[in-house]
Chains A and B, each alone.
Chain A
Amino acid sequence: MRTMKRSFSHLVLPISILLLLIIINLIKGADYFSITVVNGAFYGNIPNILFGASELVILSIGMTLVTAASRGQDISIGESATISSAVFVLFVLQAGEVTLLVIVVGFLLSCVVGLALGAFNGILVSVFKVQPMIASLILFTGGRSIAFMIDGKLSPILANDISNQIGTVIPGIPIQTPIILTVVFIVCIAMLFKTTNLRLYVETVGINPNAARLNGINPKKIIFLTFLIMGFCTAVAGFIAVNKAGRHDSVNLLKLIMMDAILAVAIGGNPLIGGKFSITGSIIGAYTIEVLNRTLLRLEIEPAMIKVFKAVFIIMLMIIASPVVRASIRKALDRVRTKNPTKGSAAMVSMVSTMDMIGEKGE
């Protein structure tokens, strides 16, 4: 109920970008939304996007919470996911016969590892008051080498049916498994928000830790908690990623995913300096990044140029969202309006109001 009543103005930016990208795709070819059924499962642009973005969505949820509470970002998420999934792979491969139970126990084990890694970063940030980016730099630097040590340096292959089904589709279910897992994860997070005061506590700590303390909230505990949640997210993302790939490549698994996760948080309308946050925004942001990546591919842009387009796109986006730019445009329009009040066109007014709505996120 409470989330329903919140205003949606912060979602204007991510949704309009998403729409813009979809329009570009539709112009490119009207068959964008078409879905084909192969072996009883849906394939097509939309399922592929949902499939491709699943790890990113999960990680950006954790990143949103960490950003909101600790006013900084965890840059070790890809490495944490690699370590926890290495433990999972190690466990599964040692088990001999792979049953569902083995997979589940392996997953739970990797979750414990993920939580421990989250706790490691969390203690540095909350107790030692190290900036999140610096604290997570440690795992970022050493993480992959730890994963390398765990998985036996061989890039082991997960050649079993269950893993394959988790990574692709379960026969009889038309939707690809990672998509289902992502949805389940989002529902779990939604339940978490519904049954606890997590949002209120995290936002309070992120906006004003002093006031939070004076009102009985322990900022250290809350920041630590967000890192634990982040750790859990990395374990789940690592689990999905490793099953998708079918092997554990500790050098390249989810490499540099933190950049995309942070970007998703920013596109979702969340200030990177903490405070109010929107999980919905980040989720949309994560899908937007995936759509952007696939759009660039679909537009047959040379693979080498993709990063250039991506960079230009992000920069344009940030310029539009910049409070300074909006303020000066509004001022200029005001001047135009006061000079010839009769000519104040409706288009301009609507433009300004759109800008205002977009702007609410930045401030």
Chain B
Amino acid sequence: MASVNMIKPKARLSNSNILFLIAAVIFVLMYLFAIISFPGSFLQFQTFFDLFNLNAPLIIMTLGLCIVMIGGGIDISIGAVCGLVTMACAVFLESRMGSIGGAILISLGIGIAFGILQGYLIAYLEIQPFIITLSGLFLAQGLLTTLHKDPINVTMGAFVRLRDFDFVISWLGTKNRLGVFIPCEIKPGTIIVVILLVILASLMKWSRFGRNVYAVGGNSHSAMMLGINVKRTVFITYVISGLTAGIAGFVYIMTTGAGNVGNAAGAEMKAIASAIIGGTLLNGGVGNLLGAPIGTLTLLVINELIRAAGVQSNFQAMVSGLLLYFFIVLQSIIMSLRDRRRVSIALPPWLRFPGKGQVASQRQP
């Protein structure tokens, strides 16, 4: 569409960016709505931080899942892997040789092991990702129940201190009813979310690997022809997703302090929903990692809103379903509108291939 470029020197937004923009705008509007409706809770900074504090594992998983989805795959094992990690850590920490360093290593190890296994089968043996990660889900769930069936509360001293540790922002906070100033608290999990977000978003934006993932998701055959090692790229996306699931598992137990069979159960579907709301398409090639936390937060704010409005918890799921419906239809309509516009603008022949001189004069400096 040379014409558009010449009429308007700024390139039009890419699909990734427009979907991200929609997600961000909707999130901001929703949060404003929440503040206006329930200023008591939503106007507090702590409420905002708690969204991160309590849901850090989900955001972390969504980050990894987004990368897999941008590469054109899907990983539904993440919730179960996360749950497995929490139990493994709990068992390890409660054992005699338990140490926090060891627990971290176990988390990363389990995550990466699942990532490597699934990534290898999907990328190099070309097996359908849904089936493989479904098996991964079964495997992780099975290992989890094999490891330990009953909830374990971690009582190790060092760990409990870590669990209860908060970063206190002394200059930010609210006064409670008695007029006592309560500073905001941030859990270490939130810090990890921010760090991971920065690392992974930069990875996708500024690294060769990240761009290769977009290329593979956009058109894997073309990507191969352009000289990209498609298999290795796909493989690494699954390793990253496994790794983030492992990290999420550690953050999970760091937040709750207990290993439980039900930990992070069903988180994969929440993560998929978050990724979609955040503007990542399941077809691959389109998505923005910054959308991952936005998608998750949108989902969570909705739930908080429903809870604040006094709706029964049973209906929360229904409302989040409706919200998803809204997003999916909106995305679909926007994408098809964009397609239509492209066709109608690109085609008039007098707009195509203007002479050389014309092009040069209208080119941006």
Contacts and interface: CB of A to CB of B under 8 A. Distances in A.
A92 to B, nearest CB: 22
Contact of A131 (B137, B282, B325): B282
Main secondary structure of the interface of B (DSSP, over half): helix
B135 A311 contact: yes
Interface string B321-362: 110110011001100100000000000000000000000000
Contacts of A28: none
B134 A263 contact: yes
A307 B132 contact: no
Contacts of B325: 138
Interface string B26-59: 0000000000000000000000000000000000
Contacts of B142: 304-311
Interface residues of B, number: 44
A101 B261 CA distance: 44
Nearest to A250: B314
B266 to A, nearest CB: 9
B146 A314 contact: no
A266 interface: yes
Nearest to A124: B328
B269 A140 contact: yes
A74 B321 CA distance: 15
A141 B126 contact: no
Contacts of A139: 321
B283 interface: yes
A314 B142 CA distance: 14
Interface in B246-292: 269, 272-273, 276, 282-283
A76 B15 CA distance: 28
B210 interface: no
Contacts of A323: 126
Nearest to B134: A259
Interface centre among B131, B145, B320, B336 (most CB of A within 10 A): B131
A319 B320 CA distance: 37
B132 A141 contact: no
A308 B143 contact: yes
A319 B125 contact: yes
A60 to B, nearest CB: 14
A149 B282 contact: no
For B127, B276, B320, the residue with the greatest tally of chain A CB atoms inside 10 Å of its CB is B127
B303 to A, nearest CB: 11
Contacts of B282: 131, 133-134
A259 B130 CA distance: 10
A213 interface: no
A133 B329 CA distance: 14
Contacts of A131: 282-283
A304 B321 CA distance: 32
Interface in B196-223: none
B128 A266 contact: yes
B315 A311 contact: no
B314 A148 contact: yes
A134 B121 contact: no
A148 B311 CA distance: 14
A129 B145 CA distance: 40
B310 to A, nearest CB: 16
A266 B131 contact: yes
B131 A262 contact: yes
Interface in B57-107: 74
Given A137-B276, A146-B318, A319-B125, A308 B138 contact: yes
Interface string B100-144: 000000000000000000000100111110111011111101110
Nearest to A140: B269
A300 interface: no
B314 A145 contact: yes
A104 B318 CA distance: 29
Nearest to A309: B142
Contact of A311 (B130, B138, B149, B322): B138
A144 B314 CA distance: 9
A65 to B, nearest CB: 17
A312 interface: yes
Name, among B138, B283, B315, the residue most crowded by chain A CB atoms within 10 Å (CB to CB).
B138
B319 interface: yes
A204 interface: no
B3 interface: no
Given A141-B269, A304-B146, A262 B130 contact: yes
A315 interface: yes
Contacts of A73: 130
B136 A141 contact: no
A49 to B, nearest CB: 20
A141 B324 CA distance: 9
Given A153-B314, A306-B142, A130 B121 contact: no
B314 A314 contact: no
B12 to A, nearest CB: 21
A142 B318 contact: yes
13 contacts: A124-B332, A130-B329, A130-B332, A133-B282, A137-B324, A138-B328, A142-B317, A149-B318, A304-B149, A305-B145, A310-B135, A318-B128, A318-B135
Given A137-B269, A310-B142, 11 more contacts: A128-B328, A140-B321, A144-B317, A145-B315, A145-B318, A146-B318, A304-B145, A311-B139, A318-B127, A319-B125, A322-B126
Interface of A: 73, 124, 128-131, 133-135, 137-146, 148-149, 153, 259, 262-263, 266, 272-273, 302-312, 314-315, 318-319, 321-325
- The 6 tightest CB contacts between A and B, nearest first, are A142-B321, A307-B142, A308-B142, A311-B139, A304-B145, A311-B138
